[in-house]
Structure 1
Amino acid sequence: MSVARLPTGDFSHASKRVKSDTKPVLGFSNEDKVGTIQLHDDALVITLKIGGYDVKRVIVDQESAVEIMYPNLYRGLNLKPDDLEPYNSPLVSFEGRVVTPKGQIRLPMQTGAEVVEVDFIFVDVYSPYTAIIARPWLHTLGVISSTLHQKVKYPFERQENEELTEFLKRNLDVFAWNAYEALGVDPEFICHHLKVNSLITLKKQPPQRLSKEHANAIREEVTKLKQTGTIKEIF
């Protein structure tokens, strides 16, 4: 939906920042088309955490100036009319019809470590979507979206990836890259057990004929695992 007239008063149509930091330059490339069917004319529909819940079927609309909440989300969050603040400015639907909102509510919306408070305008009309995310949210977080690539990019994703990479580099010594490096692991921490029914009589299976190469490879692997203490014989 596009806005017909922005409201005035205590509630701003812009999202309220809770956190802020430097935003790197973002963009899209042909690699971002991987996993999409080209050419297409699909809308950009995503999942976001709104009011503490993962909300599906949220459409990103750069043409809209206000965030919209539809009945499915309103009921899903167990909201009541008393939770809404007045909002009397009419809106224009996708079909060009004038719609009178039922009210407005500010909800926290989380993306990664970022949390912003967003003013949602509730309209009691049918929609296949649960909400519309518009320019206020996009501009507040410095988010860019692309219907062609069917993706949304956030400025803090790159920073978080760089921080994670640096953390992993600083702690390389605590990672075991194969079973032979995982020495002295306390069985109280992790241990593999075979669930065997003690009421069932054990039967010896007929020997499997292996090639000499396979038999030698298995024998060598078992010897290595025994030497490192990864496995041991129990009977």
Structure 2
Amino acid sequence: MARSRSRSRERFKEDDRKDRGRENVPVKGVINTTAGGSVGGWSNRERKRYDRNSREDRRKELVLSVEPEEEITFGAKDLGERRGSQDDPMVIKLDITNFSVHKVLADNGSSADILFWDVIKRMGLESAQLDPVHTPLVGFGGSEVASMGTINLPVSVGEEPRRKTLMVRFLVVDTPFAYNIIMGRPGLNAFRAVVSTYHQKMKFPIKYGIGEVTCDQKEARGCYNFYLQKGEVDVKEKRKERENVEGPEQKKFKPEKIESIEEFKTVELIAHLPDRVTRIGSGISKTVQTMMIEFLRKNVDMFAWSPSDFKGIDPDVIVHRLNMDPIM
């Protein structure tokens, strides 16, 4: 019985050495800079099935069998000697297909694991067959980004001896971004990783305890600043596009004073009353002037020289009555 136990331990150690040997393949290169998937599935049918299963799971109790593992906790010792703000995004390093990929955003707010096309090219995987997918990525504000497809790649997190390697399915997107990779909920859950933004650490279970990675604050702040600068540039470009469509801002209209191009002649309509006058154009002929003056003087009673000259309107034409009781 003791011999069989010792053989089992030797076989376990031998299998573990093989696993470590596969994980310790020499690194091919380092990727530093790069200038929506759905957790419910990649098609409408899969998403409907996912929704049905979630409703059924609420109606029945599931008993899951998981391997025993240590509890993941965070304490004061995890803070280390960090100074300044603890609000930096969780930016880490991953080893993917023997490349050390920096500027990886661990984002549990993302429902997809996203790999950008520029990283694919740096890995020399341009000719790799991508599985087609018709689910667009939907970002903040409802903007959509089409994906090129999906690819399964081996991903290692942590350093030996506390290291873990799994296959992760990435959505490939061809768009410039501040990060090389976004590790969303599917990938984080696959590693059973727990992220503490306050401690700036991510921990995950391994065979012999708990592995961990620490946020690179320098890269995190660099990516954050790059993203803000890019946003400012985008706003300026959109403002220019709007001006090109709508035209430049119009100057306020200032009306010009219109001056008469013709001289006028003052005509006295009532003798000995200098304020009872009118004006006619001096450019018309003498005959027309004489006829016009005679006509105006004959109809002088039609002019209202003061408010008292307004006699009102004949009630037979129009009348206005107040809607009120005369007794009151």
TM-score, normalised by the number of residues in structure 1: 0.57
Aligned residue runs from structure 1 range 182-221, under 5 A: none
Offset, 1:72: 3.0
2:195 aligned to which of 138, 142, 145: 145
Aligned residue runs from structure 1 range 1-235, under 5 A: 3=38, 6-8=41-43, 21-80=67-126, 82-94=128-140, 96-111=142-157, 112-156=162-206, 159=209
May I ask how many residue pairs the two structures share in their alignment?
A: 153
Measured at CA, do residues 48 and 157 of structure 1 come closer, stay the same or move farther in structure 2, by a change above 3 Å?
farther
Offset, 1:95: 6.0
Q: Over aligned residues, Cα RMSD in angstroms?
A: 2.9
Unpaired runs of 5+ residues, structure 1, are 13-19, 162-235
Q: Give 3-state SS (helix, strand or coil) of 2:114's partner.
A: strand
Measured at CA, do residues 48 and 120 of structure 1 come closer, stay the same or move farther in structure 2, by a change above 3 Å?
same
Unpaired runs of 5+ residues, structure 2, are 1-35, 48-65, 212-328
Q: Is the 8 A contact 1:36 1:149 kept in 2?
A: no
Tell me the amino acid that sits aligned with residue 196 of structure 2: S
Offset, 1:116: 0.9
Q: Give 3-state SS (helix, strand or coil) of 2:206's partner.
A: helix
Offset, 1:159: 2.4
Name the counterpart of 1:194.
none
Q: Is the 8 A contact 1:2 1:94 kept in 2?
A: no
Measured at CA, do residues 87 and 2 of structure 1 come closer, stay the same or move farther in structure 2, by a change above 3 Å?
closer
CA radius of gyration, larger in:
2
Offset, 1:149: 1.3
In 1: Cα distance, 2:109 partner to 2:203 partner: 18
Q: Give 3-state SS (helix, strand or coil) of 1:73's partner.
A: helix
Residue identity over aligned pairs, in percent, reads 27
In 1: Cα distance, 2:106 partner to 2:97 partner: 18
Q: Is the 8 A contact 2:155 2:165 kept in 1?
A: yes
Does 1 or 2 have the higher relative contact order (CA < 8 Å, sep 6+)? 1
Q: 1:154-213 deviations in whole A, cap 9, x for unaligned?
A: 22286279xxxxxxxxxxxxxxxxxxxxxxxxxxxxxxxxxxxxxxxxxxxxxxxxxxxx
In 1: Cα distance, 2:137 partner to 2:151 partner: 16
In 1: Cα distance, 2:145 partner to 2:97 partner: 25
By percentage of residues, which structure has more helix?
2
Q: Is the 8 A contact 2:106 2:184 kept in 1?
A: yes
Deviates further, 51-60 or 136-145: 136-145
Measured at CA, do residues 41 and 2 of structure 1 come closer, stay the same or move farther in structure 2, by a change above 3 Å?
farther
In 2: Cα distance, 1:144 partner to 1:160 partner: 11
Measured at CA, do residues 148 and 2 of structure 1 come closer, stay the same or move farther in structure 2, by a change above 3 Å?
farther
Name the counterpart of 2:3.
none
Tell me the amino acid that sits aligned with residue 152 of structure 2: R
Q: 1:42-68 deviations in whole A, cap 9, x for unaligned?
A: 100000111221110000001112100
TM-score, normalised by the number of residues in structure 2: 0.42
In 2: Cα distance, 1:7 partner to 1:37 partner: 42
Tell me the amino acid that sits aligned with residue 93 of structure 1: G
Offset, 1:139: 1.6
Measured at CA, do residues 153 and 124 of structure 1 come closer, stay the same or move farther in structure 2, by a change above 3 Å?
same
Q: Give 3-state SS (helix, strand or coil) of 1:125's partner.
A: coil
Offset, 1:31: 1.9
